[in-house]
Structure 1
Amino acid sequence: MNAALLIIDVQRGLFDATPRPFEADAVVERINTVTQRAREAHVPVIFVQHETPDSALAFGAPAWQLDPRLDARADDHRVRKSTPDSFLRTNLADVLTSLDVRALFICGYASEFCVDTTTRSALAKGFAVTLVADAHTTVDKPHATGAQIRAHENATVCNLRSFGVPIHAIDAAEIGFR
């Protein structure tokens, strides 16, 4: 299949914050379900962690660490980033090239920022993308709830046809790696 599972910014400082992301606990459970299926199919798992120097999300700080409920393992790949784009100024493209990945399954935080930007960047680089529709999240904003933002992202990205590669939004329960 030449796919990888990309889990973006599911970190202590973002999931333990107040207010918490929409369906935070359920999203972590869904990510773990998809992660287990990926491992069973020998699909690489890549965790992306956002960092901002001199902040709670500084590299290595407690808030920067992955959410402890995630099924993360020592042999999973790790990518550090400092912008919403998981490809920009990171080693993600090199990791994907070394694994001969051509398709990405994307989930994590924040739906309208890092998940959206990374999805669009992946499409622009020619990767087929499956957005795990119920395994990305964000916090409520003044203009829309986290649920509305997630629904908007799922509907919007599936209409991005100009990149010339497939994109789908599929719930975690329906994700299979063949």
Structure 2
Amino acid sequence: MVDVQRDFLPGGALGVKDGDAVVPVLNRYITRFVAHGLPVVFTRDWHPPEHCSFHAQGGPWPPHCVAGTTGAAFAPGLMLPAHAEIVSKAATAIADAYSGFDHTGLAERLRARGVRRVFIGGLATDYCVQSTTRDGLAAGFSVFVLDDAIRAVEVQPGDGARAVAAMLAAGARLIVSDELEDAPA
């Protein structure tokens, strides 16, 4: 589950249109994974107040997901299973990270658990979902993007569709919850 945080929801510091619509869909996926004893991982932006991606430091974004603030909290209603892993990224002032795999050790921890396939949903399609997908593929995982559980920022119209096309071209597969049981090994 990629960056389903308050600041990325409508009305947040960097709100994604209809971003809150992914919460009930992700909850269905989470319920299914927990019922099968599968690992569930949540990534989050966890920025210091002077993060390099913020406008004041010359970055492209307004301040968002500052560690420990309400904006950095997970979305209201998002299920957080007791044994879920939380991966904090971009937690230093001098380095940005869009991917949940970027300097987090996530790939190694997943491999140690015998994980071969990852299923990615969350916010935002055209940034952190796309980067996490590409890095998951580069790490050797089969990657399924949860098409019914992603939304795009759309800084430029069509960014979301271009991101989906790029993920598919890189080798990811799109899936919706009804198809989950049929996902190939």
TM score, norm. by length of structure 1: 0.81
2:68 is equivalent to residue 63 of structure 1: no
Alignment correspondent of 2:134: 120
Report if aligned partners of 1:158, 1:168 keep a CA contact under 8 Å in 2. yes
2:83 is equivalent to residue 78 of structure 1: no
Structure number with the higher strand fraction is 1
In structure 2, give the amino acid aligned to 1:115: V
Identity score, percent: 29
> Which of 152, 161, 166 is residue 162 of structure 2 equivalent to?
152
* Mapping 1:34-45, distance limit 5 Å: 34-45=29-40
2:43 is equivalent to residue 48 of structure 1: yes
Alignment correspondent of 2:150: 136
Work out the number of aligned pairs and report it.
163
2:180 is equivalent to residue 175 of structure 1: yes
Once the 2 structures are TM-superposed, how far is the Cα of residue 159 of structure 1 from its aligned partner? 2.1
In structure 2, give the amino acid aligned to 1:86: G
Paired with 1:168 and 1:120, the residues of 2 have a C-alpha distance of 12
Alignment correspondent of 2:104: 90
Of stretches 25-34 and 113-122 in structure 1, the one that deviates more from structure 2 is 25-34
Once the 2 structures are TM-superposed, how far is the Cα of residue 177 of structure 1 from its aligned partner? 7.3
What's the RMSD between the two structures over aligned residues?
Answer: 2.0
- Per-residue CA deviation, residues 121-167 of structure 1 (Å, 9 max, x unaligned), is 111111000000121112342x21xxx44333333322224xxxxx2
In structure 1, give the amino acid aligned to 2:178: A
Gaps of 5+ in 2: 50-62, 91-96
> Which of 116, 120, 124 is residue 110 of structure 1 equivalent to?
124
Distance 1:177-1:31 versus aligned 2 partners, 3 A rule: farther
Paired with 1:58 and 1:73, the residues of 2 have a C-alpha distance of 23
TM score, norm. by length of structure 2: 0.79
Once the 2 structures are TM-superposed, how far is the Cα of residue 103 of structure 1 from its aligned partner? 0.8
Alignment correspondent of 2:26: 31
* Structure of greater relative contact order (alpha carbons < 8 Å, 6+ residues apart): 1
- SS at 2:181 equivalent: coil
Paired with 2:21 and 2:177, the residues of 1 have a C-alpha distance of 11
In structure 1, give the amino acid aligned to 2:167: V
- SS at 1:176 equivalent: helix
